[in-house]
Amino acid sequence: MKAIVVDQFGGPEALDFRDVEVGEPGSGEIRVRHHAIGVNFIDTYHRTGLYPNPLPLIPGSEGAGEVISVGAGVTGFKPGDRIAYQGTIGAYTEERIMPAAKAVLLPESIDYETAAAIMLKGLTAYYLLFLTWPVRSGETILFQAAAGGMGLIACQWAKSIGARVIGTAGNPDKVALAKANGCDEVINYSQEDFAVRVRELTNGKGVDVVYDGVGQDTFEKSLDCLRPMGLMVSYGNATGPVSVPDLGILARKGSLFVTRPTGAHYFAERPALLAGAKALFAAVESGAVKPHIGQRFALSEAADAHRALEGRKTVGSTILLP
């Protein structure tokens, strides 16, 4: 069985495509044959060791495929079932063993590639929009990197709720893509100061909430986009981790709130995972969220996928095909 393995933390060259042994599922586990695997920025954190895990490591936290066999005590799944999952490392492989509790059954209306493109990003959008800050109709939000896989899903979903959605993107093509996927206005951050433009678009008021997965490069200016007592949701570190050594900055900029959420906490219990997946699948089936797969790579080309992702050369979701 082929897989991508990391023996030492490093750059994309650390992703080694080779044979591995899979074994049989133990108690509470299932064996899955992947049909598609999602690629996410968190995979690069695992590869570099920013988020350290024991080595050797098979990266990847999202996939979709077919159940091959089930271990003792597993209920709700049987061989042949179509499933998808997120949040459990070890996805960059043709087949894997994983906890049954992390998987959800796929509706027939959603194909494997779509599922692999939406599980982690879609469930992240779910908790950001409905739990971290329950967005209400009429509110104004700013979503950084609106043309990425995460941004396209979240902006469409937020628009379906009735929010006014302002996005950022880095070139004209990405601006156009974001506008076609939920954004009312899109700021090209390579050409103008997004904080200044947000103030102009909101008549000086600022937005209710900022969703920022970019990290270090945008954090402080994102604070400048908020209304007094608004919320800064820092959910990623694409340009480096964020530190706030002086909490007084929040007072000076308007008695602001900041949170750093993660799906590991929001979906720690299976009922929460099932509720999120149900909402996500319903949004896709209704057309409120139209997934966009911008890049497909062979599993053996995972290093190229990481280079494209880190080089900001991707749009929408990226998947690997075993």
pLDDT value for 215: 83
Inside any domain, residue 128: no
pLDDT value for 244: 78
Q: What is the pLDDT of residues 183-199, one digit of tens each?
A: 999 999 999 999 999 99
Residue 76 has pLDDT above 90, yes or no: yes
Domain with residue 99: its CATH number is 3.90.180.10
Last residue within a domain, chosen from 219, 240, 260: 260
Q: Rounded to whole angstroms, how far apart are CA atoms 244 and 128?
A: 21
Contact 121, 214 (CB under 8 A): no
Inside any domain, residue 142: yes
Tokens 């893509």, residue? 177
3-state secondary structure of 296: strand
Give the count of beta carbons closer than 10 Å to the beta carbon of residue 145. Answer: 26
Helix extents (H) in the chain: 41-48, 112-127, 149-161, 172-179, 194-201, 219-223, 248-252, 263-266, 270-286, 302-310
Q: What is the pLDDT of residues 212-237, one digit of tens each?
A: 998 888 999 999 999 999 999 999 87
- Looking at the fold, whether 11 and 87 belong to one and the same domain comes out as yes
Q: Rounded to whole angstroms, how far apart are CA atoms 149 and 117?
A: 8
Residue 239 has pLDDT above 80, yes or no: no
Inside any domain, residue 149: yes
- Looking at the fold, whether 141 and 256 belong to one and the same domain comes out as yes
Say what the pTM is. 0.93
- Looking at the fold, whether 36 and 106 belong to one and the same domain comes out as yes
Q: Identify the domain containing residue 97 by its residue range.
A: 2-119+267-321
- Looking at the fold, whether 56 and 108 belong to one and the same domain comes out as yes
Instruction: Indicate the pLDDT class of residue 312, thresholds 50, 70 and 90.
Output: confident
Last residue within a domain, chosen from 227, 244, 260: 260
pLDDT value for 315: 87
Residue 240 has pLDDT above 90, yes or no: no
pLDDT value for 216: 85
Inside any domain, residue 229: yes
- Looking at the fold, whether 276 and 236 belong to one and the same domain comes out as no
Q: How many domains does the chain have?
A: 2
